Amino acid sequence: MKRLVIAAMVLALIGTFAFADAPTPKWSIGTWTGMGVLMQTTAPTATSLVQYDYNWVGGSAYRFGFTYTAADGNAGFNSRLQMGSTITAQTAPAVFNQLNAWGKMFNGLLTVRAGIGDDYTIATKDWNCYGNTDGQFGIYANLTVMEGLDIGYFQGLPVATVDWSAIMAPGGKASIVGVAYTMKDVFNVQLGAIAPVTGSDSTAIYFGAKLLAVKDLTAILEGKASLATDGAINLLENVGYTMGPLNIMARIGENIAGSTFNYGVEPIVTYTANDMLKLSVIANYYTDKGQTWMAPVDGGAFGTVPANFVGGGAGVFVTLSQSGASLIIGDYYGAWQAAGNLVFVNVDVSL
């Protein structure tokens, strides 16, 4: 049975190109790297210097990706090779965490992707992106029933099925089914279910909504509810408003597990002076360790600060951007474990 599944995937990968009319194929190549330093000025260690990357504490990261799209737009290929702290458990120095081919059929009604996925069509539209297939190995099929209405199904496969662990990242494996609807310039909504193929996670439903009707207003809701007997409910609300160069926003999260209730609040104010200079001030308060259900507001800068703490904190950082590169310099004070000040410098280059 496993051989039949693998054979079907190989045929899908080949078929997307075999039936594509591509007299002038379109190629896109991009690179990205992020690295920096984080200095902790007080306990638990007097002074520690830690190299970290853009979002993942523990080392630098580098990505190289390329895409191909047929001239008629009905077939393509996408890949992303990554090295850095996110793959330290791997035996190889670099792995593919995206590697897939896709094809459109029946005048765009059906889109099929096979390989290590990268699709967010039926996923929620904030940080958690419940329902996405990024980094997951399997086959995804999407029906665009009408403009703005998509129905998607993803069948995940265990990596061990094709023992490619030396070249590809071990992303989560799941079966996902969902629907997404967008009313242009008004709103979009998502609803779906996730059932794990391997592991101990329980089946869960997810949902999301984003308001598009009010200019300069951000209003997003996303959530996931486990269907286990004592399953947890994770909610995330993102609200904000932009007034010229000033943006005021807050991310609020809740976790309900049985009789336990935890929450987090993260307001952030950002002033954009021009295309090159941006100043941000952030504060937060958590009641739970390890905010896996509520990621930091700004994953680029504030994401360098460990999130597994209880209590509050505040920080300020400056972002300088020019021609695809950014330099982030900041100082953050956290109350957890008497951490004191964390001074960080981050460099992000994307081509």
**Same-domain pairing of 157 and 259:** no
**Same-domain pairing of 254 and 320:** yes
The identity of residue 84, as a single letter, is G
Q: Residues 138, 154: contact at Cβ < 8 Å?
A: yes
Domains contained in the chain, number: 2
- How far apart CA 113 and CA 214 sit, in angstroms, is 34
- Mean pLDDT for each consecutive 10-residue tract of the chain (351 residues)? 49 50 73 69 44 38 85 91 56 74 94 94 91 89 95 82 51 83 96 77 89 96 86 91 95 89 90 93 79 59 51 82 84 62 74 74
- How far apart CA 100 and CA 117 sit, in angstroms, is 6
Paired tokens of 223? 């959530």
For 13, 77, 157, 178, 255, the CA distances from 163, given in Å and listed in that order, are 18, 22, 11, 29, 36
**Same-domain pairing of 288 and 139:** no
For 3, the 3-state DSSP assignment is helix
**Same-domain pairing of 319 and 201:** no
**Other C-beta atoms lying within 10 Å of the C-beta of residue 149:** 13
Q: What pTM was computed for the model?
A: 0.80
**Same-domain pairing of 164 and 238:** no
Whether 60 is covered by a domain: the verdict is: no
Whether 259 is covered by a domain: the verdict is: yes
Q: Residues 283, 262: contact at Cβ < 8 Å?
A: no
**Start-to-end Cα distance in the chain:** 42
Q: Residues 302, 315: contact at Cβ < 8 Å?
A: yes
**Same-domain pairing of 244 and 284:** yes
DSSP state at residue 118: -
Q: Residues 209, 239: contact at Cβ < 8 Å?
A: no
- For residue 104, the model assigns a pLDDT of 95
Whether 31 is covered by a domain: the verdict is: no
Whether 137 is covered by a domain: the verdict is: yes
Whether 63 is covered by a domain: the verdict is: no
**Same-domain pairing of 78 and 196:** yes
**Same-domain pairing of 193 and 259:** no
Number of DSSP helices (H) and strands (E) in the chain, helices first: 1, 19
Domain boundary among 181, 214, 247: 214
Cα of 320 vs its chain's centroid, Å:
23
Taking the C-alpha atoms of 15, 134, 90 and 197 in order, what is their torsion angle to the nearest 10 degrees? -80
Whether 219 is covered by a domain: the verdict is: no
For 87, 91, 103, 124, 212, the CA distances from 106, given in Å and listed in that order, are 39, 42, 10, 27, 30
Q: Bridge-partner residues for 102, per DSSP?
A: 76, 113
Domain boundary among 214, 244, 262: 214
Domain extent, residue 47, equals 36-55+229-351
Strands 246-257 and 311-322, by their bridges, are: unpaired
**Same-domain pairing of 109 and 205:** yes
Whether 223 is covered by a domain: the verdict is: no
- For residue 31, the model assigns a pLDDT of 81
**Same-domain pairing of 179 and 236:** no
**Same-domain pairing of 161 and 17:** yes
Whether 64 is covered by a domain: the verdict is: no
**Same-domain pairing of 19 and 41:** no
φ/ψ (deg, to 5) at 281: -125, 130
**Consecutive H or E run containing 24:** none
- For residue 288, the model assigns a pLDDT of 77
